Structure 1
Amino acid sequence: MRSPRNTNTFYKADTKTWIGSRTPPLYNPNQSLGELILAILKKTPTKITQISADSGAKVTCSEMRLRSIRIAQNLTAMGYTQQDVFAMAVRNGELVAPTIFACFALGIPVNTLDGTFKHDEFSPMLENIKPKLIFCDQESLAEMQLAIKLAAIDPVVIVFGEKVDGYLHIEQLIKPTGREHEFIPVHLDDASSKLAIIICSSGTTGRSKGVCLSHSICIASMASMLDYEPTDITLAFSSLYWLSGLAFLILGTVSGATRIIVRQPFEPALALSIIERYRVSAAFFPPANAVALLKHPRMATTDLSSIRLWLSGGAMVSTEMKRSFEALTPTASFIIGYGMSEVGGLVALSDDDSYKDGSTGYLRASCQAKVVDNAGNVLDIGQEGEILVKLDYIFSGYYGNTKATAEMLDDAGWLHTGDIGRFDEDGILFILDRKKDIIKYNNYQISPSEIERFIQQIPGVANVSVAGVPVPGNELPAALVVKTSTARITEDDIHQTVERNLSNYKQLRGGVYFTEALPMTPSGKVVRRKCLDIMVQLYNNVNALK
């Protein structure tokens, strides 16, 4: 194993701080995303930049650039300016990329929402952001209408998908203007202070907040996040609501790769079919989706020879998962990324040469990190505490929420991630759990992810979430388990596995409960707060009978 210390990451003993390399961003961050993307699309006009797995439609760089310019010019003709804010609630359709590229080129910030939301999920963000224009899938229009009423706003709504009477359709914005050759994307004098995206925090532990990302942070963090090649065929199911969806759109486009898009939600059989049909070379799957792939019967028979890079992140990624993918695709790399919306990309990234079991890699360029205890004291190498990070380009706060911004970003510019972890002597980062998820039982602190890792290894377990059921003066570890269709595992099987592998205080005193499916976000993250609600109800039901 190669140590990245003193080559990729450096330690300052006097401040107990780890620092990534000083390699500058690949692209100049002092420009608008629109300037960057349209310039890159112009360089390779005949290259295929996007293929729809739904329709098979292919789009060249020249076509993508032309559509982006036409949408921008038609939006300008409608009277919109940099002082406005838009919202997008769409799946990964064929006209999504040029629409958001047009907004980047005009310098209009966009709040990205998930097209599968219900009205009560849309309305809090709409009430906060107050967009002047909303791009919305036809399938979501009824829910969006209810949300608009709840938010007491009056935006223009432009529909994607099937046409709807009384509403503008996105195809009306790609009509020729006759002035396409005159278009110049906006230049921003201070791109680090101009909003490009308002992306929602994941909402897995509470209500989403609007994370404000500037043009500069998007270029510095997303555009050079991974080493994509112009020959790559990439796949990510994430919509633009998710940082991963936005990042892989920008990264794939500026690196000259061909992106495979799909409007349908993730299904293992669909993902495997797309990989085989389009010879995908780089694919992103969050851990829950990656586990589903490994457990699908077609995984062993699918032709995966085109894959050179698997990427996973967004939740805990086990060593067992990494090893399983490597066994199936020996010539491919399985890379683990640790990031968050507030940094606009990745904090740390693993590689094959320096990976250690259970780790998330070393700090990426221009990133600093330290570990602190509950009192804010900086801890030594090997000690566990909250991870704090600092970057050259920082997020611009939570939209309309100065209190939450102050809690996340301190006066010295350090982001408080809320993640518990440690660095080892080589500068490798280990993330143990979310600070909010830690179970407190009899003054012990228990990591749900540690218990989940052992349960996940039991044959017949498709998915699992562990949380602490609150009882007077304590929290009792409990597990909510999804079985595979043919599994015959019992509660006792789960209990016995935990008993064999973990200390007495980590036992599942709150119970083991089986369910058909865990509550999930559209991008494949387990919604822990909803899992806990289910476990509390089941625990109360069981104990009411005693």
Structure 2
Amino acid sequence: MENMEKEENIVVGPEPFYPIEEGSAGHQLLKYVKQYSKLGAIAFTNALTKVDISYAEYLDVSCRLAQAMINYGIKVDGRIALCSENCEEFFFPVLAGLYIGAGVAPTNEIYTLRELVHSLGISKPTIVFSSKKGLEKVITVQKTVTCIKTIVILDSKVDYQGYDCLETFIKKYLPAGFHIDNFKVREVNRKEQVALIMNSSGSTGLPKGVQITHEGTVTRFSHARDPIYGNQVSPGTAILTVVPFHHGFGMFTNLGYLICGFRIVMLTKFDEELFLKTLADYKCNSAILVPTLFAILSKSTLIDKFDLSNLVEIASGGAPLAKEVGEAVARRFNLPGVRQGYGLTETTSAIIITPEGDDKPGASGKIVPLFKGKVVDLDTKKTLGPNRRGEICVKGPMLMKGYADNPEATREIIDEEGWLHTGDIGYYDEEKHFFIVDRLKSLIKYKGYQVPPAELESVLLQHPDIFDAGAAGIPDPIAGELPGAVVVLEQGKHLTEQQILDYVAGQVSNAKRLRGGVRFVDEVPKGLTGKIDGRAIREILKSPKPKM
């Protein structure tokens, strides 16, 4: 009887609109990049520099680079890495690596030396493709991570500081008479072959190397083309993104856009007016943002200055988006809602997404095709029915192969039945919409009560004089932890700590009051994808209050 109850409470995603195509991620990317190159479509546009790179150029460079890397000696299951900020050349080595069956490990130039040594020490690349900004760090890291034999400059047309630029490297190793029509993608076992080694969020320590297979990647491609998510495959459609490319959110949305033939318009920094102007100038159909930026746009006074009639969607991912903030942005842009996605680096990409025309305020969406989801009681571990909170678990073909060289950590997150335990608290309703409440490890434990920081943050963000906020628990010998918050005020506004304490107390139950106090800060500590850094907030809250 218990097994029957569990089966009844497992939420199954719909059938995919498009069946998963044959071949590896490299096969599929090459097929579609070729197709769109014949149409003269633009692949990437840098909205700051006005530089365009066409699908034809992506086809040419990626094929020549792939063959050059084969001749250099990169074998199937070899490793290459990137260390670069967002740039229009970023995906040249990504595509080339996927063509030849090499595992691609993206990192970012803002990583500290410690983080970069750790990350590249996990992926063990032979070649690192570095931006000019990241070069000095990569040179320093090479002294420790000695498997790095070659550094290639990604974002330069000429050799730089004695290192080969991309074109020089290609010319060194490309055979005479090579033509891209003769290039062949290497055959791989897509269920086993690692396509990308991504960095986990590192919320409980240093990041782990998440191994994403070709199977997981091509499953993501089928979702990218699925009209249930509003993705009518129409080459030339402009999509504006400000999401970091090295992160799973940026990596797999962009690879999906290349499969669809979209024009990826990128901003390397966020400025409210520039963002809106770019939407208008390029007639963008969609914008991809992290939640950090929604708070700015929810109170924007500049939107009416621009013709945004082409915009049909704003999508959020990478971290939870407060219901009230999402609704405010939808109203400001005159949209029916905000499309949300929920996933982990360990699930390749989003495995819960808002379906087309089925938005529900506060919900993250529904289970994607080919996946299953369930909610498990935190204490009994039993599978729960609708509207009951517990840990969200998922199962499907986009789950990671495992953490690189870390089977113990892999077993801690994926159980013997193949369910990945997300560490996120949530529930689903009768219509199978999933709601994310908070991270299991970030829950504040106050006298036995579990207080979700995200709920406190949502309450604080509703105050008209508060621009941004983050919450966390601080240790207390009697209560266990006390809920506290850091707050950024709107420019020109003034609030006292007591006013904020009273405001929150009037909207939450007794256990959720901000007994840990309030600190006023210039910026809420967050990661690259907008996830609030609970550990940093705890340190701020534990520090003595400044004397007035």
Partners in 2 of 1:195 and 1:99 — Cα distance?
15
C-alpha spacing 1:337/1:385, structure 2 compared with 1 (3 Å): same
Alignment match, 1:377? 382
2:488 alignment partner in structure 1: 482
Q: 1:439 aligns with which of 429, 435, 444?
A: 444
**Kindly tell me: are residues 289 and 465 of structure 1, through their superposed partners in 2, closer, same or farther at Cα, counting changes over 3 Å?**
same
CA distance in 2, matches of 1:13, 1:372: 10
Task: State how far apart, in whole Å, the 2-side matches of 1:501 and 1:243 are.
Answer: 36
How far apart are residue 299 of structure 1 and its match? 3.4
Paired with 1:192 and 1:227, the residues of 2 have a C-alpha distance of 28
- Matching residue of 2:186: 186
The match for 1:399 is: 404
Distance 1:530 1:74 in 2: 44
Secondary structure of the 2:190 match is: coil
The aligned counterpart of 1:201 is 200
Task: Provide structure 2 residue ranges, at least 5 long, that are not aligned to the other structure.
Answer: none
Q: What corresponds to 1:5 in structure 2?
A: none
Contact 2:366 2:432 (C-alpha < 8 Å) held by counterparts: yes
SS in 1 for 2:541: helix
SS at match of 2:487: strand
Once the two structures are superposed, the pairs formed by residues 333-352 of structure 1 within 5 Å of their partners are 333-351=337-355
Amino acid at match of 1:43: Q
2:86 aligned with 1:92, yes or no? yes
* Alignment partner of 1:70 is 2:74: no
Shift of 1:271: 2.1
| Partner Cα separation in structure 2 for residue 425 and residue 335 of structure 1 | 20
CA contact (8 A) 2:444 2:483 kept: yes
Check the 8 A contact 2:103/2:194 in 1, yes or no: yes
Shift of 1:368: 0.6
Give the conservation status (yes or no) of the 8 Å contact 1:222–1:344: no
- CA displacement at 1:380 relative to structure 2: 2.4
Does the alignment pair 1:310 with 2:314? yes
Distance 1:526 1:301, change over 3 A: farther
What are the superposed Cα offsets for residues 489-513 of structure 1, whole Å, 9 maximum, x if unpaired? 2212311220110111111111100
Matched, 1:128 2:102: no
* Distance in 1 between residues matched to 2:332 and 2:286, nearest whole Å: 15
Tell me the equivalent position of 1:252. 257
Q: What's the counterpart of residue 34 of structure 2?
A: 42
Q: Secondary structure at the match of 2:284?
A: coil
Kindly indicate whether residue 360 of structure 2 is the aligned counterpart of residue 366 of structure 1. Answer: no
The residue number in structure 2 matching 1:165 is: 161
- How far off is 1:481 after superposition? 1.0
1:223–1:247: 8 Å Cα contact kept in structure 2?
Answer: no
Distance 2:368 2:230 in 1: 13
- Tell me if the contact between 1:288 and 1:524 (Cα under 8 Å) persists in the aligned partners: yes
| Distance verdict in 2 for CA 1:331–1:422, change over 3 Å | closer
- Count of aligned pairs between the two proteins: 528
CA contact (8 A) 1:371 1:385 kept: yes
Instruction: Confirm or deny that 1:141 pairs with 2:145.
Output: no
Q: What are the equivalent positions in structure 2 for 1:197-236 lying under 5 Å apart?
A: 197-225=196-224, 226-228=229-231, 229-230=233-234, 231-236=236-241
Q: What is residue 528 of structure 1 aligned with on the other side?
A: 534
- Between stretches 437-446 and 243-252, larger displacement belongs to 243-252
Query: Deviation of residue 153 (structure 1)?
Result: 4.3
Mean Cα deviation higher: 322-331 or 417-426? 322-331
- Residues 525 and 532 in structure 2, CA contact (< 8 A), matched pair in contact too: yes
Instruction: Please say if residues 12 and 18 of structure 1, whose CA atoms lie closer than 8 Å, have aligned partners that are also in contact.
Output: no
Q: Which amino acid aligns with 1:369?
A: G
> Structure 1 residues 91 and 14, CA, compared in 2 at 3 Å: closer, same or farther?
closer
Cα distance change, pair 352–501 in 1 and its aligned pair in 2 (3 A): farther
Q: Distance between the aligned counterparts of 1:72 and 1:117, measured in 2? A: 27
Amino acid at match of 1:21: P
State the secondary structure of the residue aligned to 2:29: helix
Residue 269 of structure 1 deviates from its aligned partner by: 3.2
The one-letter code of the counterpart of 2:113 is H
- Kindly tell me: are residues 365 and 223 of structure 1, through their superposed partners in 2, closer, same or farther at Cα, counting changes over 3 Å? closer
Report the AA paired with residue 187 of structure 2: H
Report sequence identity in percent.
27
Secondary structure of 1:38's match? Answer: helix
Distance, in Å, in 2 between the alignment partners of 1:464 and 1:266 is 19
Distance in 2, Cα, partners of 1:524 & 1:265: 14
2:285 corresponding residue in structure 1: 281
Aligned to 1:224, the other structure's residue is in SS state helix
Instruction: Summarize the Cα distance change of 1:493–1:306 in structure 2 as closer, same or farther, 3 Å threshold.
Output: farther
Distance 1:250 1:388 in 2: 26
Please give the residue correspondences for 1:400-479 in structure 2 after superposition, counting only pairs within 5 Å. 400-473=405-478, 474-479=480-485
Q: Decide whether the 8 Å contact of 2:208 with 2:404 is kept in 1.
A: yes
Cα pair 1:70 1:173 within 8 Å, conserved: no
Per-residue deviation at 1:114?
Answer: 1.5
2:13 is aligned to 20
CA gap 1:310/1:500 in 2 versus in 1, 3 angstroms: same
Cα pair distance change 1:210/1:267, threshold 3 Å: farther
Structure 2 Cα separation of the partners of residues 17 and 131 of structure 1: 40
Compute the displacement of 1:272 (Å).
2.1
Counterpart residue identity of residue 457, structure 1: Q
Return closer, same or farther for 1:354/1:411 CA change in 2, 3 Å cut-off. Answer: same
Shift in Å, 1:48 = 1.8
Q: CA deviation at 1:77?
A: 2.3
Aligned-residue CA RMSD (Å): 2.2
- In 1, Cα distance between equivalents of 2:115 and 2:488: 26
2:107 to 101, 110, 113: 113
Matches of 2:337 and 2:35, distance apart in 1: 29
Residue 511 of structure 1 aligns with an amino acid whose one-letter code is G
Relative contact order higher in (CA < 8 Å, ≥ 6 apart): 1
- C-alpha contact 2:66 2:97 (8 A) present in aligned 1: yes
TM-score, L = length of structure 1: 0.91
Aligned to 1:55: 49
Alignment partner of 1:94: what SS?
coil
Q: Partner amino acid for 1:345?
A: S
Structure 1's 291 and 403: CA in aligned 2 closer, same or farther, altered over 3 A? same
* AA partner of residue 492 (structure 1): Q
Equivalent residues in 2 for 1:494-513 (5 A)? 494-513=500-519
Segments of 5+ residues of structure 1 without an aligned counterpart are 1-10
Distance 1:393 1:160 in 2: 29
Q: Which stretch of the first structure deviates more once superposed, 172-181 or 14-23?
A: 172-181
Measure, in 2, the Cα distance between the counterparts of 1:36 and 1:115: 29
